Amino acid sequence: MREFEKNIRKVEPYVPGEQPGEKVIKLNTNENPYPPAPGVRTALETMDTERLRLYPDPSAEALVRELSRFYKVDPSQVFVGVGSDDVLSMCFLTFFNSEKPILFPDITYSFYKVWAELYRIPYECPKLDENFRLVKEDYYRENGGVIFPNPNAPTALYEELSTVEDIIAHNRDVIVIIDEAYVDFAGPSAMELLDKYDNLLVVQTFSKARSMAGMRIGYAVGSPTLIKYLNDAKFSFNSYTMNQTSLICGVEAVKDQAYFEANLRKIIDTRQWAKGELQKLGFQFTDSKANFIFATHPDYDARELFEAMKEAGIYVRFWGSRRIEQYLRITVGTREEMETMFAFLRKYMKK
Ligand code: PMP
């Protein structure tokens, strides 16, 4: 190693799912198969490009206001960022500065470990139980903060709010972050608990239920105090995180509640139907409450199946990591995309 390399920050980066260029059936990164709300298209078509000369509003006020209206909270309780990855990364930097380890499950969004390493935050990973459920008692021990997704990824399991509340209530001296990237497909949001717990922060995204992964918008909702600390960190990092286009389109997406709900309904219906089809083929899977299904097959090796599907132009996600080496994560696509996948699987399994 060269002398100068000793002082270089070395990180093992998060590996995102592939974004293949050619036409494939893409069920590997939990994107929404439907377009964003029509208002987003209109906003883009009628956008005043002259405005791009100028820096965007650093406080992202229009988007913050629209989100605060949607969630019936004060604008001082909303923080926005470039996808929830940006928001979560800022949260790690801002809230997890204890010498004690932060806690997140052993099987969860693999970016948490990457941020902990990047920022040199000690961490421990309590094991999910044999059914991939969170063991709430594991989060009663002393710690420097808690974070988990609900529903969890890649298990797709949703924990009832009573479980979430129990964990928050046992951790009043640290910040508890609930990553709700998939909550709209699942059940009640922990936002319901915000009035009771000033140590709670709820993080959500436009990437899944709002069909805008390409736009990169995420947000956190919490007490004005926590949001102020987040903004202080953001303004010490990059004032203009949200670009002008995202600000305009984000507002349009939030305004159209009817489209949002219809979009959710379609995905939930396809998910329920797809579970039945997977079952007919002999797959086993968790009770998915997200826009993806976490499945395993007793007779087929997950890696081989993943490779065969990829060869056929059907991309799903496979990690091969401990405890989940026999699992595939299949994003819920359109009914047609799923039909194509099932046709392939039937042929492959000669069923
Ligand atoms: N949290 C979880 C649990 C996720 O699965 C994802 C998607 N990879 C994210 C956060 C980040 O999503 P985005 O940055 O697109 O908002």
- Tokens standing for 228? 């102020």
145's CB contacts (< 8 A; 6+ apart) are 95, 96, 98, 102, 103, 174, 175, 176, 177
**Location of structure tokens 């399991």:** 157
- Pocket lining: 218 vs ligand 1, CB cutoff 6 Å: yes
- Both tokens assigned to 207: 């990437």
Tell me which DSSP letter residue 136 carries.
G
Q: What beta strand segments (E) does 168-322 contain?
A: 176-179, 200-205, 218-222, 284-285, 292-296, 314-315
Q: Which amino acid is at 165?
A: E
Bond before 154 cis per omega within 30 degrees: yes
Parent domain of 226: 42-255
Q: Is 61 in the same domain as 113?
A: yes
First CA to last CA distance, the chain: 55
What is the 85 CA–ligand 1 centroid distance (Å)? 6
Q: What is the pLDDT of residue 144?
A: 98
Q: Report the pLDDT value the prediction gives residue 292, as an integer from 0 to 100.
A: 98
Nearest CA to ligand 1 atom 6: 181
pLDDT of residue 108: 98
Task: Find the CATH number of the domain harbouring 82.
Answer: 3.40.640.10
Q: How far is the CA of 220 from the centre of ligand 1 (A)?
A: 13
pLDDT value for 65: 98
Nearest CA to ligand 1 atom 12: 84
Determine the Cα–Cα distance for residues 75 and 68; give it in Å rounded to an integer: 5
Q: Determine the pLDDT at residue 180.
A: 98
Pair (15, 60) in one structural domain? no
| pLDDT for the residue numbered 17 | 87
Residues 301, 202 share a domain = no
What are the 10-residue block averages of pLDDT along the chain, 351 residues in total? 91 89 91 98 96 97 98 98 98 98 98 97 98 98 98 98 98 98 98 98 98 98 98 96 97 98 98 98 98 98 98 96 96 98 97 82
**Cα distance between residue 298 and residue 151, in whole Å:** 25
CA distance 83 to 76: 19
Domain co-membership, 238 together with 264: no
Domains contained in the chain, number? 2
Domain limit, last residue, from 209, 234, 255: 255
* Claim to verify: residue 93 and residue 177 sit in the same structural domain: yes
On whether both 24 and 124 belong to a single domain, the answer is: no
The closest of 284, 290, 282 to 324, measured between CA atoms, is 284
Looking at residue 212, what is its pLDDT?
98
Element (H, E) at 259: helix 257-280
- Asked if 236 and 267 sit in the same domain, the reply is no
pLDDT at residue 21, rounded to an integer: 76
Distance CA 219, CA 203 (A): 6
**CA-CA-CA-CA torsion sign (316, 18, 326, 88):** negative
Q: Does 316 lie in the same domain as 171?
A: no
> Is the CB of residue 153 below 6 angstroms from any atom belonging to ligand 1?
yes
132 and 218 belong to one structural domain: yes
The answer for residues whose C-beta is within 8 angstroms of residue 307's C-beta and 6 or more apart is none
Token digits of residue 347:
């042929």
The answer to whether the CB of 122 falls within 8 A of the CB of 101 is: yes
Cα(105)–Cα(126) distance, rounded to whole angstroms? 5
Q: Is the CB of 205 under 6 A from ligand 1?
A: yes
Nearest to 155 by CA among 324, 332, 341, 338: 324
- Helices 257-280 and 335-348, packing angle to 10 deg: 10
Instruction: Give the domain CATH number at 300.
Output: 3.90.1150.10
Domain co-membership, 106 together with 197 = yes
Q: Are residues 292 and 315 in the same domain?
A: yes
CA of 291 to the centre of ligand 1 (A): 12
Hey, how many other C-beta atoms are within 10 angstroms of the C-beta on 49?
Answer: 8
Using the atom order of ligand 1, give the atom closest to the CA of residue 84. Answer: 16
Closest ligand 1 atom to residue 153 Cα is 3
Q: Looking at the structure, do residues 16 and 105 belong to the same domain, yes or no?
A: no
Residue having the nearest C-alpha atom to atom 1 of ligand 1: 181
Last residue of a domain, one of 255, 281, 313: 255
Q: How far is the CA of 348 from the centre of ligand 1 (A)?
A: 32
d(CA 45, CA 274): 36
What is the helix (H) or strand (E) element at residue 20, kind and residue range?
A: none
Q: Helices 83-95 and 224-234, interaxial angle, to 10°?
A: 100
Residue with tokens 């139907």: 273
Question: What pLDDT, in 10s, does the model give residues 127-171?
Answer: 999 999 999 999 999 999 999 999 999 999 999 999 999 999 999
CB 286 within 8 A of CB 156: yes
| Domain boundary pick from 255, 289, 320 | 255
